[in-house]
Structure 1
Amino acid sequence: MAASAKMATGIQLYTLRDQMAKDPSNTIEKVASIGYKEVESAGYNGQYYGFSAKEFKKMLNENGLKTPSGHYLTGNHAPDQQGTLINGWEQAVDDAAEVGQEYMVLAYLFDNERETLDDYKTLIALINKSAEACKSRGVQFCYHNHAFEFETIEGAVPYDLLLQETDPDLVKMELDLYWTAKANVDPVELFKESPGRYPLWHVKDMDQAGEFAAVGTGTIDFQRIFDHKEDSGLKHFFVEQDQIKGDAYETISTSYKNVNKLLS
């Protein structure tokens, strides 16, 4: 595991979405003070948390942070929103490149975007087109999973379609380890089936009740998964916790300490 110790520990800012909405500068300072070196943005509408790409990058730089990756949406749920795959994507790609993001990740599909296999086929066409725009600016497109992609629809597993019907060079995967476990899918098997396809991970733990937990306090065997990081092609990983009971900063500090014990 010595090589893993060289990897920067990141956090997905969705974990701190309420704090980022109220006071992004203070939140970023606290994230850096805990020891995180990278952040993955969550939410872009032509700006990052009310900042231009240049301003956001400056704030991160001042705190010794980088943002190698960011989350984006298709825009189908809100066609007027800027900076989605269907509205202002070129500007989003330009901003991502300016802020220093190497990866742009499709974060989530709303219910009405994933009801049928045809919905997924339409999505795949949009993904392929969007990924080409990313490639033109030297940015890698990725897809982030939840559990629903592994549920069979009309005799097929949508996640298999996403892997098979997108160009593996154009479209990589960000594997959410919590949602993968929730779907009873083994990440290590995914890595073996599609080596090098998973450069990004969400390191997110699950408690005995199947709910979100601070990393290292739950049931997921992260050591086994990290032992196969080379199969996956891992480049960056981000601690994430969708819901936190108690103090958010104490919780992400626990996650940070436990991840770094894992990597030592």
Structure 2
Amino acid sequence: MTRGLRGSAYAVGAIAAPAIAFLLLLAVWQWVAAAGLVPADMLPSPTRVVGAGAAEGSVLLRHAAPTFAATVAGFAVSVTFAFATATLLDFSRILRTALLPLLIVSQTLPLIALAPLVVLWFGFGLLPKILLVAFVTYFPMVVGLLRGFADADPEAERLLASMGASRATVFRLVRLPASTASFFSSLRISITYAVVGAIFAEYAGAVSGLGVYMQSAKNVFRTDLVLAAVGVSTVLTLCLFGAVVLLERLAAPWLRIEQGRERAGAGGAS
């Protein structure tokens, strides 16, 4: 009973604390804008941003649709290739030694410089946005999967090997399940970068999308519309993050139970 109450209190606190912090931030922002401490054209008030966004609601939604499509498609491509790469590297130490440093070096490439090149190579359609989203989210998932594979129980692996199980069987029964927590953790991290990657690609060159809308609003000095588009991209990111969390709870419900036990143990220890 006590553990259940502690779990409920933790869940309420996890939602209430950031919500209160966000409302306080909005209140301070509104006060600064109303007091005229910052020029209105530079920092419009939250109410003005919301009003401008509501007036442009249909246009924002029309531009959000291609950004959402590119994000989901690029993320799906990234998950597929990340899983294939991590599995291959887990089976081959030679490939892991040769390719992992190259994957690390690839993360040093600045997205702001890479985006125009991808647009020049592949045009202004959906493909360059998909590729950039995949590029941004690919590495964290590869690393997360490899770390998860390494967390497998060595005793269970040796037991299966002593019973004549093949390496593929050991991977399927021990190493793959062991990577579940790390995999979903990397999914949550990667999905927060995905929308950013799509918007960067649209900034570099596209015919529609939130990046195109932000650039158009910036060119006519409509800071309120730029911030409204930022708000839409934030909501889009939060929705995708929530979808990943929901998928984790449906696909691996035992992870939530284990996390609850860890929090209960930590609470009891304190």
TM range (shorter): under 0.3
TM-score (ref. length: structure 1): 0.22
TM-score (ref. length: structure 2): 0.22
Q: Which has the higher strand share?
A: 1
Which one has the largest radius of gyration?
A: 2
Determine which structure has greater relative contact order: mean sequence separation of CA pairs < 8 Å that are 6+ residues apart, divided by chain length: 2
